[in-house]
Amino acid sequence: MFRYILRRLLQMVLAFFGTTLIVYALMFAGQGDPIQALAGERPVTAAQRAYLTEKYHLDATGVGGFFYRYFDYIRSLLQGDLGQSLTGRKIGEILQQAWPVTVKLALIALAVAVIFGVTAGVIAGIRRAGIFDNSTLVLTLLVLGIPTIVLAPLAQFFLGVKWQLFPPTAGAEPDFYALLLPGIVLGSLSLATALRLTRTSVAENLRSDYVRTARSKGLLKRRIVSVHVLRNSLIPVVTFLGVELGNLMSGAIITEGVFNIPGVGFNLFRGIRTEDGPLVVGIVSVLVVVYLVSNLVVDVLYAVLDPRIRYE
């Protein structure tokens, strides 16, 4: 177990440095004027220029200078200092306001995926090749195939604007009801994947030897499914949902942008639109860390739940 965790940790450290180096090199390397590159087509004021030069030590030159600046960036990233956006607000502060909303949205999406995806998946797995199974397979394929940039605006248009079942946008202080539709849209993809995963897993376990033994002992089918099968089948689903939580927090760019939810993804969306380079790079760095850490936690959790993983 210890060796496994160590190996995953080393891998994560590599991935962390790899990704941040790419993010950082792309920000500054090989451009005539890195500050202008950061700002895109917007004019840069003298004050912003001085701030950025000082913050990123742009007066030092050469490869040594690049790595000096890179490690400086890593240090401030680890200390939680993300610098300022071009509008002068602290990026850390922006994120602090945005996190609760994003977490709330991700939890709603996850709840949708668990309640509907896992339940339907178990039923489909038990009644394999039946009508319910076949229709959920087609339905999940549809959901998996329709990109979020189609699903989100269409849901907003039909359910929000045309039939007015939900508020079409969330606004500054969104309540649960306002976050419900975006949560369902965001969770639909995880719902489809969770459903398919549960279905395959349940169907496979139902054919295993221990289920046959349980059946020959005369146990009720309900007990076999709920105690014997579910326990084993849900291991991959639980780990998938853990990875998904990390994904949902970093992957809500489109959904938050479309529904005007003031979360992390929305700020990134706005940063891209307004060509606010420091904001984009700051948020992306944090999201990459969140993504990597959640992947690590889930992998370790998987090894705890299923001893077979550790010895591969």
Partner 1 sequence: MSDFETVAATENQAARRGPSGEPGTPNQVGPNKPRSLAGDAWRDLRRKPIFWIALLLVVIVTLMAIFPSLFTGSDPKDCALDRQNQGPSGGAIFGFGFQGCDTYARAVYGTRASLLVGALSALITGVIALAVGLLAGYFGGWADAVLSRVIDIVLGIPLLLAAIVLLKRIGTDNPNFRLGAVVLVLAVLGWTTAARVVRSSVITAKEQDYVAAARMLGAGHLRIMLRHILPNALAPAIVVLTIALGSFIAAEATLSFLGIGLSQETISWGQDIDTGRVHMRESSTPLLVPSTFLALTVLAFIMLGDAIRDAFDPKLR
Answer whether 168's CB lies under 8 Å from 152's CB: no
Residues between 54 and 113 with contacts to partner 1, criterion CB under 8 A: none
Taking CA atoms, 120 is separated from 130, 193, 221, 287, in Å, by 13, 12, 18, 31
- State the nearest-atom distance from the C-beta of 134 to partner 1, in Å: 11
Determine the 3-state secondary structure of 81 from DSSP. coil
Stretch that binds partner 1, among 20-28, 44-52, 110-118, 223-231 (CB under 8 A): 20-28
- When the beta carbons of 40 and 65 are compared against partner 1, the nearer one is 40
Closest CA to 7 of 235, 305, 300, 306: 300
| Closer Cβ to partner 1, 145 or 218, answer by number | 145
Least distance from partner 1 to the Cβ atom of residue 1, Å? 19
* CB 180 to partner 1: min, Å: 20
CB 249 within 8 A of CB 102: yes
**Cα Rg, the chain, nearest whole Å:** 24
Specify the residue, 119 or 249, whose C-beta has the smaller distance to partner 1.
249
Q: How far is the CB of 169 from partner 1 (least distance, A)?
A: 12
Query: Contact region for partner 1 (CB under 8 A) — 78-86, 111-119, 218-226, 277-285?
Result: 277-285
Dist. CA 192–CA 175, nearest whole Å: 26
Contact predicate 153/258, CB 8 Å: yes
Would you say 265 and 102 are in contact if contact means Cβ atoms under 8 Å apart?
Answer: yes
**CA dist., res. 89 & res. 66, Å (int):** 26
Contact 239, 277 (CB under 8 A): no
Distance CA 58, CA 138 (A): 55
Q: Does 142 bind partner 1 (CB under 8 A)?
A: yes
Q: Report if residue 273 touches partner 1, rule: CB under 8 A.
A: yes
> Could you tell me which of 212, 198, 46 has the C-alpha nearest to residue 114?
198
Residue 236 binds partner 1 (CB under 8 A): no
146 or 219: CB nearest partner 1: 146
At closest approach, how far in Å is the CB of 98 from partner 1? Answer: 16
At its nearest, how many Å lie between partner 1 and the CB of residue 150?
Answer: 4
Tokens of 111: 């709840």
Which residue is listed with tokens 């376990």? 205
Largest CA distance in the chain: 81
Site string for partner 1, 162-191 (x = CB under 8 A): x-----------------------------
Residue 86 in 3-state DSSP? coil
What's the closest the beta carbon of residue 268 comes to partner 1, in angstroms?
8
Interacting stretch for partner 1, rule CB under 8 A, among 55-63, 86-94, 143-151, 221-229?
A: 143-151
Name the minimum Å distance from CB 256 to partner 1.
Answer: 12
Sites of contact with partner 1 (CB under 8 A):
11-12, 14-15, 18-19, 22-23, 26, 37, 40, 138, 141-142, 144-150, 153-154, 156-157, 161-162, 247, 250-251, 253-254, 257-258, 268-269, 272-273, 277, 280-281, 284, 287-288, 291-292, 295
